[in-house]
Structure 1
């Protein structure tokens, strides 16, 4: 008994110093014991929501507990992301977020008080290219025509996106920077109003997430000029990358989705979630659902800290070039 007390008096202070008291260890070992909430920082129905629900469904199967999606929209995803960044680090509140709320918002808005460093990254889930389109009335049908047309009358032409500082906005600004273009941006409150003005020819060019743009492209209402990733998309292999043009050969930007947790998540819970996500990414039904929506499922074992730092640095360059500030 004296030996036991001697060992305990040695080990317990060490456990407490790293936050691993016996009760905490027991809770970690038992995780998960109750339903998990996955926050999606946008209203239902969009690509982030679809991805979040697909992830939640698979995590429920892998972890053996209910996984509930909570839509917390507002401020370009910042409200929902901020909520998760301040949640208890117990593994019961997660964020299925996109690049906007995880890595871009902080670069644009001083009111956003968190950064990607204020999360424990679980893993990259998927990505989806954006597509640059032209109004049918513009007469522009190729990337080369687009560049020559915009350069011929600097400042005359207008492009639209779904909002200031979105990945769609930044992708067009990246193209402007690389090709030396000058055209004005109109931010729209969603895809619907942008589409109406593209159909009418009120706006010359626009940027869609590929899955949102394909119905309008296939219907002949707008003209696809190119996708923003360097590789072709499996769901639209006929649309060439913008990077195929010499003036845009560095274009490589996408909308991506990642599963994140609050900071300081215990290592055992982090590993449990990462393993469950990795298993989910390899599930055929999950892959088909995301691929049918226009996304490419992420490879396994992406080193998230490096990935997030590189993405943030890329966006910072575009934000600085375009002088995008709220």
Structure 2
């Protein structure tokens, strides 16, 4: 009887030790393909960076990070998909967090908020610009603003979605200077340039990277200072204009994802930003890599959310 009891106790002890050892093992992540949701159109700057980052993370981990484009509603469609996903690390978001930090303040009944996500790492800042076609007569932003003032409601500009940061950034200038101009929303940045080059738009709000290589002239970048990606272009702050900051862009998760997975993703994100393949893509796009870890990105997202709420209040915008 004692032998039986001892044997049984031994089995239980071994099982307990094995269970404890298994729990102590690092997370084997990713052990299945991970969907990387990019909330913008294929072919744009965010998509290009997202694909390069996903490939570098795949190389670093030995797993599969696969980009899936879910564009629409100024990035809200993709953000909603990530917010609603199971918090198991198998669906993550990549791109500007503007849909997250502005949607609750500008869109009715958005089913997520800044607190619906965990923030893994910032990778870059999407610097916004005011641009015109090379054939445009406007050489500076003050010249363009003077023309808008002289021709109220006659001039048009494109931006990448109603209540997107591109829209809010120029609306901030319009409101601050009491201008009257017609805005035309698009589903992302890519379609703006053909319309501008064809003369159907007087100017556009885009990004430094998106404008690179196209026959357009950058008149200004939005921000307190000039962009390292376009140092010859003046900032809106130095021109004395109302200013919003660049777009924070990185990896997000559904809130409640296990911390071990978030930590693993942050480590892979850092490794990916240091990879030669990723750095080559960013160099070609002229986008500086501005990696920030989980704690820093989370704090920045919370600040960005507060800033956007203040701007929307100041502009008197109502949720649509």
Instruction: Name the CA distance, whole Å, in 1 between partners of 2:257 and 2:189.
Output: 36
Unaligned runs of 5+ residues in structure 1 are 13-20
Q: Using structure 1 for the length normalisation, give the TM-score.
A: 0.80
Normalising by structure 2, we get a TM-score of 0.81
Residue 322 (structure 1) shift: 5.5
Cα-to-partner distance string for 1:288-309 (whole Å, 9 max, x where unaligned): 3123223221133361222112
Equivalent residue, structure 1, for 2:57 = 59
In the other structure, the counterpart of 2:286 is 294
Q: Give the Cα–Cα distance (whole angstroms) in 2 for the partners of residues 68 and 27 of structure 1.
A: 26
Which residue matches 2:141? 143
Q: How many angstroms does 1:260 deviate by?
A: 0.8
Cα distance in 1 for partners of 2:159, 2:205 equals 5
Alignment counterpart, residue 232 of structure 2, candidates 230, 235, 238: 238
What runs of 5+ residues in structure 2 fail to find an aligned partner? none
1:126 to 1:172, Cα distance in 2 relative to 1, 3 A: same
Question: SS of 2:237's equivalent?
Answer: helix
How has the CA–CA distance of structure 1 residues 264 and 131 changed in structure 2, closer, same or farther, with 3 Å as cutoff? Answer: same
Deviation by residue 1:244-300 (Cα, 9 ceiling, x = unmatched): 21x22x524223321011111222222111112122222233123123223221133
RMSD over aligned CA atoms reads 3.2
- Which stretch has the larger CA shift, 23-32 or 77-86? 23-32
Describe the SS at the equivalent of 1:243: coil
Structure 1 distance, partners of 2:40, 2:279, is 22
Q: Distance in 1 between matches of 2:21 and 2:70?
A: 32
1:14-37 alpha-carbon deviations (Å, 9 max, x no partner): xxxxxxx97994786333322222
Q: How many residues align?
A: 305
SS, match of residue 213 in structure 2: helix
Q: Deviations over 1:155-175 (max 9, x none)?
A: 444332132112211121122
Distance (whole Å) between structure 1 residues aligned to residue 34 and residue 133 of structure 2? 44
Q: Is residue 318 from structure 1 mapped to residue 316 from structure 2 by the alignment? A: no
Question: How many Å separate the matches in 2 of 1:274 and 1:243?
Answer: 33
The aligned counterpart of 1:253 is 245
Compute the displacement of 1:154 (Å): 4.7
